[in-house]
Structure 1
Amino acid sequence: MSYAVAALVDIDDYVASSQVQGQVWARRQLRRADRAVHAAASGRPGVTCRPQPPEEWLVLLTGADPEALMSEAAALAEEVRARIVRETAWTATVSLGLPSLAHGEAEREARRSNDYKLVLGGDRVIAPAAARPALTARPSPGGAACPPVGLTPPVRIEEELTRRVRAGDRNGAAGLLAGWVDRCAAERDADPRTLRNWLIGQLLFVVDTVNRSRLADGSTDWVEACARLPIEDIVTVGDIHERSYLHIWLRDTLARLMPPPPRTDILAMAEAYLAEHYADPGLRLATVAEAVCASPFYISHLFAEERSTTFLRHLTGLRLRHARRLLTTSALPIDVIAARSGYPSAKALRGAFRRHVGCSPTEYRRAGIRH
């Protein structure tokens, strides 16, 4: 009787590194990785190696003793990982399946282990028992593994996600979801299926937030809403076992789901935020940009393009307008007016008046100028 054990060699962060370094670089690294895998497999009796493009290799070990096969597979996996680290710019994950009498089932076992790369991370050997402790301990009545029940995400992000989605901040929403996925994956009882279910739930939440169409009773028109998230996209989540690639996929998916807000809307939100918070001495461009879910550069660009001014000039105008009003309508001391106008001291207010008004606050008050 002959058994088979499969070892699936999977390059870590292949898509992300290829996007950064380019396809020419990636192809060169793949050739080096291919030589490393074949070198580790060669000379071992009963071992075959088959590439699984673009960045995987299936190594199959056969023999009569399943325990000896598992031991040999573990040693081979460590050697492959070490060679790839030494001979390429990459790391790799090698996932092992349980011994099987059928080669096809041996490969499926290895791929089931490799699925746990999504929650365990890369640069490791994933053994069957380590990958699926909860599943192997709790078989379903039909004999198939079933996921843990009753698990809920460790943190909820719907409130912040809603804010970013409604602001049209696609990158911010994608970053929030990516960080949330990483946090959920770190949970002790997390498994790939549960993590994907949670993520699909969040994506449907985004779809519902973006969709403005409602039925007559006020409920969501899910027929129209789900047209934004095709079933193929949901199915794709089930094929992703690389966290870095999941982050890329989230960014691309949210770019399709969320229409960018008109630039005038972003500028209006920034101006409204400034009008409400200009009295805060610590107010900065970065603060406003974060509040309206846009980059500081883009906010600066909008003020220059749409208002022919700068962010700082606009903020200074708001502060001085309020200071002038207090100077001519109250007897408040200069230091109190400075604090209420967003300046850290009377000296700072005097400096701003000299530069922009041409006189001191006291002189302005004595002149009784009304604005």
Structure 2
Amino acid sequence: MTYAVAALVDIDDFMASEQARGQTWARHQLRHADQAVRAATSTRIDATCHSLPPEEWLVVLTGADPGALMTDARELAEELRARIVRETAWTATVSLGAPSLGSGAAERAARQVNDYKLVLGGDRVIAPPVDEGAAPAPHESAWPASSPRPHESTALTPPVRIEQQLTRRVRAGDRNGAAGLLAGWVDRCAQEPGVDPRTLRNWLIGQLLFVVDVVNRARLADGTTDWVEACARLPIEDIIMVGDIHERSYLHMWLRETLGRLMPPAPRRDVLALAEAYLAEHYTDPGLRLATVAAAVNASPYYISHLFAEERRTTFLRHVTGLRLRHARRLLATSALPVDVIAAHTGYPTAKALRGAFRRHVGCSPTEYRRAGLRPES
């Protein structure tokens, strides 16, 4: 009887790196990766290698002894992973299925194991243990003992809930903030003991449906959500696609794209107006930070910075500095308060900090400004 073991070689973060560095660079790296995989398998008469574009290879080993075959497959998997790390700018995950009868069954077994990359991360060999006492190789991750086998159900619940924060970002129209929140939540959930890819995806789909419910304004006569209308925003094809994603970096990209479609365009000027109003009331606080303002208006710090750049052609820091210095000039011109007191009234922790800001932006010291009898801008 002849057994087969499949090793699925999967480049880590391929889509993200191609997007960041371009297709030409990615094609060049793929050629090196292909050479590395074929060099590792070319000397083995019991191995066949097939390229699975764009960034996978299927290596199948055959033999009569399933135990010895699995040992050989583990050694080859380590070599494959090491060669790609050494000869390309990438890392790779090599997933090994259990010995099977036939190459088709062997490939399916390897893909089931590769699904665990979503939970475990990349740059490793993933293999189900041959026996309870088998020790994994240096870079090998055996099937997590606390995780269920494929198609087993779990009663786990997410370690943290983010619906409240998610609602604020969705209602503020902050697509990037909502996507970032969901991506971070997925990463946190993946670390939960016993979680498997199916459970992680089910939790994520639940959050996406929650976003659909928050975005959708249609209600039935009894006040409940009109899910026929709501689910038109999230086609079944999108939900099904989640099941094919086993790379967390790609999942993060997919979340940004999906939330971009789900959420209406951000009310940019409304969010900016809220941020400016908050700053007008709190700029005298020396501890004021971008993150503080973002939390107060239910948006991400990145989004607030983006709005100041796009709508005001300035930065968050310059805007705050302008508010503080305008107030300082007014006090210098209309009062006899000492500089250190004015600093405390305008958001600067010390008189030295106020003097430094004055020299950079006004061109003189506060004392020189007062002596010159200059009037503040209206």
Same fold, TM-score > 0.5, yes or no:
yes
The 5 A counterparts of 1:68-83 are 68-83=68-83
Q: Once the two structures are aligned, what percentage of the paired residues are identical?
A: 68
Q: 231, 241, 257: which one pairs with 2:246?
A: 241
Does residue 217 of the first structure (1) align with residue 225 of the second (2)?
no
Aligned to 1:367: none
Give the superposition deviation at 1:275. 3.9
Answer yes or no: is 1:85 the counterpart of 2:85. yes
8 A Cα contact 2:3 2:66, kept in partner: yes
Contact kept, 8 Å, 1:165 with 1:209, in 2: the verdict is yes
Residue from 122, 129, 133 that aligns with 2:145: 133
Q: Is the 8 A contact 2:268 2:307 kept in 1?
A: no
8 Å CA contact 1:134, 1:148 repeated in 2: no
Superposed CA offset, 1:184-225 (max 9, x none)? 111121110011011111111111111122222221111111
Structure 1 position 132, deviation (Å): 5.3
Does residue 3 of the first structure (1) align with residue 3 of the second (2)?
A: yes
How many angstroms does 1:290 deviate by?
Answer: 5.6
Unaligned runs of 5+ in 2: 130-141
Aligned to 2:152, the other structure's residue is in SS state coil
Distance across 2 between alignment mates of 1:259 and 1:37: 45
- Letter of the aligned partner of 1:241 in structure 2? H
Residues 1:319 and 1:334: Cα distance change in structure 2 (over 3 Å)? closer
Write out per-residue CA displacement over residues 26-46 of structure 1, whole angstroms, 9 at most, x where no aligned residue: 111111111111111112122
Aligned residue for 1:118?
Answer: 118
- In 2, the alpha carbon distance for the partners of 1:349 and 1:81 equals 56
- Secondary structure in structure 1 of the residue aligned to 2:99: coil
Structure 2 counterpart of 1:207, one-letter code: V
Q: Does 1:302 align with 2:311?
A: yes
Q: Is the 8 A contact 1:134 1:147 kept in 2?
A: no
Aligned partner of residue 133 in structure 1, secondary structure: coil
- Report the equivalent of 1:168: 173
Note closer, same or farther for the CA distance 1:213–1:2 as it changes in structure 2 (3 Å cut). Answer: same
Q: What is the Cα deviation at residue 248 of structure 1? A: 0.8
Q: How does 1:246-285 map to 2 (within 5 A)?
A: 246-284=251-289
Task: Rate the CA distance shift 1:316–1:60 in 2: closer, same or farther, 3 A.
Answer: same
Distance 1:96 1:348 in 2: 61
Cα deviation for residue 297 of structure 1 reads 4.6
- Post-superposition shift, 1:8? 0.5
Report the Cα distance in structure 2 between the residues aligned to 1:23 and 1:346, rounded to whole angstroms.
54
C-alpha distance in 2 between matches for 1:283 and 1:135: 45
What TM-score does the superposition give when structure 1 sets the normalisation length?
0.82
TM-score (norm 2): 0.80
Aligned residue for 2:45? 45
- 2:28 paired with 1:28: yes
Report SS of the residue matched to 2:193.
coil
**1:139-193, Cα deviation, whole Å (9 max, x unpaired):** xxxxx731322x1111111111111111111111111111111111111211100
Indicate how the Cα distance of structure 1 residues 232 and 286 shifts in structure 2: closer, same or farther if over 3 A, else same. Answer: same
The answer to whether the 8 A contact 1:98-1:128 is kept is yes
Counterparts of 1:132 and 1:347, CA distance in 2: 57
Deviates more, 1:63-72 or 1:286-295: 286-295
Q: Secondary structure at the match of 2:194?
A: coil
* Runs (5+) with no aligned partner, structure 1: 138-143, 364-370
Cα drift, residue 134 of structure 1: 4.7
The alignment partner of 2:246 has SS state of coil
Q: 1:219 to 1:316 in 2, by over 3 A?
A: farther
**Alpha-carbon distance in 2 for matches of 1:135, 1:224:** 37
| Distance in 2, Cα, partners of 1:85 & 1:346 | 54
Find the aligned partners of 2:92 and 2:9 in 1 and give their Cα distance.
Answer: 7
Match of 1:145 in 2: 151
- Closer/same/farther in 2, CA of residues 86 and 340 from structure 1, 3 Å limit: closer
Tell me, in whole angstroms, the C-alpha distance in 1 between the residues paired with 2:353 and 2:89: 54
Q: Residue 227 of structure 1: which of 226, 232, 238 is its match?
A: 232
Shift of residue 102 of structure 1? 2.4
User: How far did residue 263 of structure 1 move?
Assistant: 2.6
Distance in 1, Cα, partners of 2:16 & 2:348? 46
Name the stretch that deviates more: 261-270 or 177-186: 261-270
Q: Deviations over 1:12-59 (max 9, x none)?
A: 111011111111111111111111111111121221111111111111
Deviation at 1:347, TM superposition (A): 9.6
Distance in 2 separating the partners of 1:210 and 1:257:
8
Q: State the alpha-carbon separation in 2 of the partners of residues 301 and 37 from structure 1.
A: 47
Which has the larger displacement, 185-194 or 210-219?
Answer: 210-219
Matches of 2:214 and 2:327 in 1, distance apart? Answer: 34
Distance 1:202 1:349 in 2: 47
Q: How many residues align?
A: 348
**What letter corresponds to residue 237 of structure 1 in structure 2?**
V
Residue 64 of structure 1: CA displacement?
0.8
| Maintained 8 Å contact 1:286/1:296 | no
**In structure 2, distance between residues paired with 1:266 and 1:115:** 40
Q: Which amino acid in structure 2 is aligned with residue 238 of structure 1?
A: G
